Amino acid sequence: MVLMASSEPLVLGIETSCDETGIGIVRGHSLLADAVASSVEEHARFGGVVPEVASRAHLEAMVPTIERACDTAGIALRDVDAIAVTAGPGLAGALLVGVAAAKALAIGLDKPLYGVNHLAAHVAVDQLQHGALPEPCLAMLVSGGHSSLLRVGDVTGDIQPMGATIDDAAGEAFDKVARLLGLGFPGGPVIDRTAVSGSSIAIDFPRGLTTRKDLERHRFDFSFSGLKTAVARWVEARERSGEPVPVADVAASFQEAVCDVLVRKALDAASSEGIDEIVIGGGVAANSRLRVLAEERASKLGIRIRVPRPGLCTDNGAMVAALGSEMVARGRTPSALDLPADSSQPVTHVLA
């Protein structure tokens, strides 16, 4: 395979880990195109993502989304220096579509292939907005499937987990509470909007894994299952008593409980490692209250918060291209063409 010598590699990234077909094109740390085809409306009537529906949507969207990205970037496919693709974690069938497409492009164009970790890509994408990542930095990834704290020494190969969710992830809790309140799917954006007109102190919902005993065993871990249950019981009690449910207050108070725990643990983890920069990524990083609360509390500790713009927080091809570009720039060995899709790929395995 031929890799063009360049200090600013042109990389095409493919992301199909869940319900969005993302194609990104990056040159170095510059974003040239970020095309997304979402199948979220097809899943909304089910109240969650249906893997088979997602896989079929990726098949239908792949070619037109690649073409749209190339048109936006003003390039031809033959111009790219490398192909990057999410190899895992994610939905097995959805990942297979992206990996198969990436292999076909790599073979047809005679370009190197990089199968990268979805979670590491959520960290790397911040470079497209804020420049090179400090080494080390702390990353907090919050999405529908993950709530993680990571010590990142090198985003291409040195990522160490510090904490993770032990049950429901933050995004999953948002979806379940939104469904409970009749707000629809996906839950994150609609709860964020609804909370604006509510009171965050109206209801004192529990903060999971924050008692002294919990912190001894799960200092940097997360749990949102108990919070979800507490919201459900509170709403049920109101309904049994015949009182109206103040949806905006419930949304705001629930959101505050989630963001409080996320920020509290992230700052504790950074302080424990002597790290003064935190990168927040994943779909929940688009939440407005999380951004404000993190900035407010971090500034008091002299810690800088880095959060990409909302469009780069949700799953997208730009983040995969960004990590692929970093792989090329650092001379990492490309993946083999028998690269598998790994639905449970650990974050410590950055390059497949």
Q: Could you tell me the pTM of the whole model?
A: 0.94
Reply yes or no on whether the pLDDT at 2 is more than 50. no
CA 56 to chain centre: 22
User: Can you name the CATH fold of 10-125+316-329?
Assistant: Nucleotidyltransferase; domain 5 (3.30.420)
Q: Pseudo-torsion of CA 312, 313, 316, 318, nearest 10°?
A: 40
Instruction: Tell me the pLDDT tens digit for each residue of 284-300.
Output: 999 999 999 999 999 99
Reply yes or no on whether the pLDDT at 227 is more than 80. yes
Instruction: Tell me the pLDDT tens digit for each residue of 250-273.
Output: 999 999 999 999 999 999 999 999
Mean of pLDDT values over 73-101: 97
In the chain, how many H helices and how many E strands? 13, 10
Confidence label for 1 from pLDDT (cuts 50, 70 and 90): very low
Q: Burial letters for 19-43: b for 16+ Cβ neighbours within 10 Å, e otherwise?
A: bbbbbbbbbbbebbbbbbbbbeeeb
Task: Tell me the domain boundaries of the chain.
Answer: 10-125+316-329, 135-310
CA distance 266 to 270: 6
Mean of pLDDT values over 215-237: 97
Reply yes or no on whether the pLDDT at 313 is more than 80. yes
CA distance 189 to 175: 10
Q: How many of the other CB atoms lie within 10 Å of CB of 230?
A: 17
pLDDT of residue 5: 42
- The answer to whether 151 and 50 are in contact (CB under 8 A) is no
Instruction: Tell me the pLDDT tens digit for each residue of 12-54.
Output: 999 999 999 999 999 999 999 999 998 877 877 777 788 899 9
pLDDT of residue 38: 87
pLDDT of residue 42: 82
pLDDT of residue 211: 96
Quick check: do 10-125+316-329 and 135-310 share a fold? yes
CA distance 174 to 177: 5
Instruction: Tell me the pLDDT tens digit for each residue of 126-140.
Output: 999 999 999 999 999
Q: Mean pLDDT for the chain?
A: 95
pLDDT of residue 51: 86
Reply yes or no on whether the pLDDT at 208 is more than 50. yes
Mean of pLDDT values over 92-111: 98
Assess if CATH 3.40.220.10 describes domain 135-310. Answer: no
Instruction: Tell me the pLDDT tens digit for each residue of 175-189.
Output: 999 999 999 989 999
Task: Give every CB contact of residue 140 below 8 A, 6+ residues apart in sequence.
Answer: 148, 149, 150, 262, 266, 278, 279, 280, 281
pLDDT of residue 7: 66
- The answer to whether 210 and 264 are in contact (CB under 8 A) is yes
pLDDT of residue 45: 76
